[in-house]
Amino acid sequence: MKMSFLWTDMMIWLLVVALIFWARMIMRSPQTRQQWRRIYESPLAMACSLILLTYLSVALLDSIHFRLALPTQADSKQVNYDINMKSPLDLLFAHNIDHSERTYSAPFARNEFVSSIIVNEQGITEKAYLPLKHVATYLGINEGSGLDIFIKSIIAIIMGLMIGLIFVTLHMLWLKRGTQDSFGHYLQTVKQGKTQLPWRWAYATFLFILVMSVWLYYLNLSYHVLGTDKVGGDVLYNTLKSIRTGVLIGVLTTVATLPISIILGISAGYIGGWVDDVIQYIYTTLSSIPSVLLIAASILVVQVTIDNNPQWFETATERSDLRLFFLIIILSITSWTGLCRLLRAETFKLSQVEFVTAARAFGVGKFTILRRHILPNLMHIILISVVLDFSFLVLSEAVLSYVGVGVDPSMHSWGNMINQARLEMAREPMVWWSLLSAFLFMFVLVLAANLFSDRIQVVLDPRNEA
């Protein structure tokens, strides 16, 4: 086994580490702790952040890449590695990769969706719907499908609940450590919703997510729960792989824009003068270009460069990863202007406010004023715009891939899934499952982010005090 370090992998893990440090740092202040506690007092915010966390963990699970060693020939000493990179997620779904079908099949189907012409035993050619390889491997062809699905679902739900309850119990034990409460009594408090944070909703969401995932995974062992796509790939697997692309584009791009927009926005608003003029010029110029066109032009440049230098890459995954990396950079170049403009206006307003004037009169240094008085008052704008940008970017990934300037066509992404499925719209009856799964997974992610940002806005926006 050989580890492969993709650019985007390193970025996302670096970001996770940085986020943990940042969280530890800001949690030192009691006011911040108080604010975050208030955010999580809403059951909806709790549920949304659990959903977001689930998406993030799938993305992280898919962000460790390695190449397995191929079986070596007896005479050669040299170890060769598989050119297909694997991630832990791929290992979990190995049965789906190995048993890839030939073409479309509907969810839970046992035969292919498209009839093919075969020669039967009598030597007569006829049309038939061939059985699916994957389903046939795990299921006797004649086994009753409806009953089997039902039994397997029950098993999956029980398994999911059991695993989930173990975690929930552990968490409750951890929460009540140090108190004199008995476990039964504490359970009662949680049930009645008397805990400070709405843990019962958190547990409910957690159990729901876990049961759903166990159900999907367990049934996908013997069926294609969400069907297969044109080349016979399992749709559930494709959708899960797409999570990484969506989450990475959303998270990394928003985070990459932050330093640019914060530094430029604050300096324009606080320093003013020619600095303000220059920064305003830069962002007016950038935002006057239609962003799709700027992205298109830059991606064309990147693609041409990549195509001209095949020697840079050992595998196709590395090549598509570099395109994703540049897409993230280009997207952050086009999307920092909005936040920068907001921050500039707000900083300008704040620098005229009495407490800043007072601080200045007391001889407090410029940077201390920025750090202590201005930046904390900009925090809510930054946070809200981060979450909103995130959902906007997840949605625009699909649009960009449709236009042909998104991620590499060979990469798993919701945009590519939609794009492929769209070409089959004219087919009768319709192939709807690919489209619907991509839209559904995208919808849940974006909805969770939007609802969470609403909650942040309610709690952090100072105008909502009354």
Partner 1 sequence: MLNYIIRRVLYAIPILIGVNLLTFLLFFMVNSPDDIARSQLGAKQISPQQITAWKVKRGYDKPLFYNAETKEEGVLASLTDTLFVKESLALFIFDFGFSDAGRNIATDIKQRMWPSLQIALPSFIIGLTTNISLALLIVLFRGSVLDTTTMIIAVMIMSISGLFYIIAGQVLFSKLWHWFPISGFESGIGGIKFVILPVLIGVFGGIGSGVRWYRSLFLEQINQDYVRTARAKGLTELRVLFGHVLPNGMLPILTGVVVVLPSLFMGSLIMESFFGIPGLGSYTIDAINAQDFSIVKSMVFLGAVLYIIGLLLTDISYTLFDPRVKLS
Is 348 near partner 1 (CB under 8 A)? Answer: no
Determine the residue type at 294: L
Is 281 near partner 1 (CB under 8 A)? Answer: yes
Distance CA 382, CA 360 (A): 25
Comparison of 172 and 384: residue with beta carbon closer to partner 1:
384
Locate 336 and state its tokens. 């920092």
What is the DSSP code string of 119-186?
Answer: E-TTS-EEEE-PBPHHHHHHS-TTS-HHHHHHHHHHHHHHHHHHHHHHHHHHHHHHHTTTS---HHHH
Smallest gap from Cβ 197 to partner 1, in A, equals 22
Q: Which residues does residue 2 pair with via DSSP β-bridges, in sequence order?
A: 67
Comparison of 137 and 305: residue with beta carbon closer to partner 1:
305
Q: How far is CA 308 from the centre of its chain?
A: 31
Among 387, 442, 459, 460, binds partner 1 (CB under 8 A): 442
Please state whether beta strands 116-119 and 65-67 pair in parallel, antiparallel, or not at all (unpaired). unpaired
Is 403 near partner 1 (CB under 8 A)? Answer: yes
Q: How many residues lie near partner 1 (CB under 8 A)?
A: 40
Comparison of 370 and 388: residue with beta carbon closer to partner 1:
388
Is 450 near partner 1 (CB under 8 A)? Answer: yes
Comparison of 137 and 285: residue with beta carbon closer to partner 1:
285
Distance CA 410, CA 396 (A): 18
254 contacts 388 by C-beta, under 8 angstroms: no
374 contacts 350 by C-beta, under 8 angstroms: yes
Stretch (H or E) spanning 117: strand 116-119
Among 300, 358, 379, 423, binds partner 1 (CB under 8 A): 300
Distance CA 224, CA 107 (A): 6
Is 458 near partner 1 (CB under 8 A)? Answer: no
Is 268 near partner 1 (CB under 8 A)? Answer: no
Is 447 near partner 1 (CB under 8 A)? Answer: yes
Among 79, 141, 165, 425, binds partner 1 (CB under 8 A): 425
Is 294 near partner 1 (CB under 8 A)? Answer: yes
Among 391, 413, 416, 420, binds partner 1 (CB under 8 A): 391
Is 298 near partner 1 (CB under 8 A)? Answer: yes
Q: Which residues does residue 119 pair with via DSSP β-bridges, in sequence order?
A: 125
Comparison of 105 and 453: residue with beta carbon closer to partner 1:
453
Contact range with partner 1 by CB under 8 A, out of 19-27, 201-209, 227-235, 291-299: 291-299
Phi, psi torsion values for 214, nearest 5 degrees: -65, -40
Q: Is the dihedral of CA 279, 281, 284, 288 positive or negative?
A: negative
Is 434 near partner 1 (CB under 8 A)? Answer: no
412 contacts 243 by C-beta, under 8 angstroms: no
Contact range with partner 1 by CB under 8 A, out of 159-167, 197-205, 337-345, 441-449: 441-449
Contact range with partner 1 by CB under 8 A, out of 51-59, 141-149, 180-188, 390-398: 390-398
Distance CA 15, CA 7 (A): 12
Smallest gap from Cβ 301 to partner 1, in A, equals 5
Q: Which residues does residue 81 pair with via DSSP β-bridges, in sequence order?
A: 69
Is 153 near partner 1 (CB under 8 A)? Answer: no
Stretch (H or E) spanning 92: helix 88-92
Among 61, 64, 402, 409, binds partner 1 (CB under 8 A): 402
Smallest gap from Cβ 284 to partner 1, in A, equals 6
* 3-class DSSP state of 4: strand
Comparison of 307 and 354: residue with beta carbon closer to partner 1:
307
- The residue whose two tokens read 């390889």 is 133
Distance CA 374, CA 364 (A): 13
Contact range with partner 1 by CB under 8 A, out of 93-101, 105-113, 154-162, 288-296: 288-296
Comparison of 164 and 246: residue with beta carbon closer to partner 1:
246
What residues make contact with partner 1 under the rule CB under 8 A?
281-282, 284-285, 287-290, 292-294, 296-298, 300-301, 304-305, 391, 395, 398-399, 402-405, 418, 422, 425, 430, 435, 439, 442-443, 446-447, 450-451, 454, 466
